[in-house]
């Protein structure tokens, strides 16, 4: 724990490598071009196709820079993405000119540019779920004073779309846009549980990474836990993503199967008798509010 915060373990420092089986010129949800059946994304099957190489390389660069906590050199990017340095140099110059990439003062290390921020902000502003659930997140944060998240399933990961900070000095550190392995988070597990085991197996990349000593990585144990989640309607992450942090999550029924979920994260040291029951009851109430609001909107 540092400066009163507990940092989640998504986007770990080091080379920007994918843990979802996606390599250069292949996105996490694209499906194998050699597999006519494709794969399963967050909202259903994704049709297989032959990607456009230049577009794939551009997206690979953006994703590598987004996944890295520091600026990357030309040599690092070329090595990790498998792109020739001569081709990558021209691609980076073009992206710098368009504002998608920025270079440091030496011109040798690269990071995301302001255009990436503009596109991310535009995505959130146009997203129905973030607006619809804003009041629900506020209410949960006000009631418990703990960190609250809205997350969305993105292939084998879950990404934070919105958050409300804890009022306590000791809290979970997180950031909007951060990707975390779905199997290691309450948000991810409750959304994986919305899908049959066969779809989960296609969605995840085995073997699963262990973020802490508590992370469930065994396929049979994970499937057993997902069955429990389906039966009780909520998921719990007991220090599986971050040591010392327990998280509770429920899916939000805006789509079928659900792609969004809300969660509340609490340091284990602050979980007292009856805390879990109160948190789960509050999450159920929040989801009921969303369901009622959706019904009203549908009838308007």
Lowest mean pLDDT among 32-36, 201-205, 266-270, 293-297: 32-36
Contact (Cβ atoms closer than 8 angstroms) between residue 287 and residue 253: yes
CB-based burial label for 263 (10 Å; 0-12, 13-18, 19+)? buried
pLDDT tens digits for 202-214? 999 889 999 999 9
Residues written for the chain = 300
pLDDT for residue 27 is more than 80: no
Pairing between β-strand 171-173 and β-strand 5-7 as defined by DSSP bridges: parallel
Specify the pLDDT at position 19.
37
Specify the pLDDT at position 54.
92
Specify the pLDDT at position 197.
97
Q: In CATH terms, is domain 127-299 a member of 3.30.450.40?
A: yes
CB-based burial label for 59 (10 Å; 0-12, 13-18, 19+)? middle
Query: Which residues, 6+ apart, have CB-to-CB distance to 138 below 8 Å?
Result: 164
Query: Three-state DSSP class for 282?
Result: helix
- Per domain, the residue ranges of the chain are 14-119, 127-299
Choose the CATH number for 14-119 among 1.20.1730.10, 3.10.400.10, 1.10.286.10, 1.10.10.10.
1.10.10.10
pLDDT for residue 61 is more than 90: yes
- Does the predicted model carry a pTM greater than 0.85? no
Query: Which residues, 6+ apart, have CB-to-CB distance to 173 below 8 Å?
Result: 5, 6, 7, 8
**208 vs 38: CA distance, rounded Å:** 21
- Which of residues 141 and 6 earns the better pLDDT score? 141
């Amino acid at each position: 724990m540092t400066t009163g915060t507990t940092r989640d373990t998504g986007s770990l420092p080091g080379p920007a490598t994918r843990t979802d089986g996606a390599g250069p010129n292949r996105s996490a949800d694209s499906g194998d071009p050699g597999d006519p059946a494709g794969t399963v994304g967050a909202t259903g099957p994704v049709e297989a196709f032959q990607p456009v190489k230049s577009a794939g390389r551009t997206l690979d660069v953006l994703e590598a820079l987004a996944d890295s906590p520091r600026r990357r050199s030309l040599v690092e990017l070329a090595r990790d993405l498998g792109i020739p340095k001569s081709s990558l140099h021209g691609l980076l110059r073009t992206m710098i000119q368009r504002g998608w990439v920025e270079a440091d003062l030496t011109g040798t290390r690269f990071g995301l540019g302001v255009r990436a921020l503009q596109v991310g902000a535009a995505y959130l502003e146009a997203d129905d779920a973030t607006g619809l659930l804003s009041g629900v997140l506020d209410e949960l944060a006000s009631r418990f004073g703990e960190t609250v998240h809205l997350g969305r399933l993105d292939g084998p990961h879950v990404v934070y779309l919105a958050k409300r900070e804890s009022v306590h000095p000791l809290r979970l550190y997180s950031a909007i846009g951060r990707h975390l392995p779905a199997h290691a988070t309450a948000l991810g597990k409750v959304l994986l549980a919305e899908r049959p085991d066969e779809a989960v197996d296609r969605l995840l990349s085995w073997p699963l990474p262990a973020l802490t000593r508590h992370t469930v990585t065994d396929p049979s144990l994970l499937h057993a836990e997902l069955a429990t989640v389906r039966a009780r309607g909520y998921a719990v992450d007991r220090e599986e993503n971050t040591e010392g942090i327990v998280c509770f999550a429920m899916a939000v029924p805006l789509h079928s199967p659900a792609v969004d979920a809300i969660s509340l994260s609490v340091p284990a040291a602050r979980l007292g008798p009856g805390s879990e029951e109160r948190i789960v009851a509050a999450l159920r109430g929040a989801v009921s509010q969303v369901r009622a609001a959706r019904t009203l909107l549908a009838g308007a």
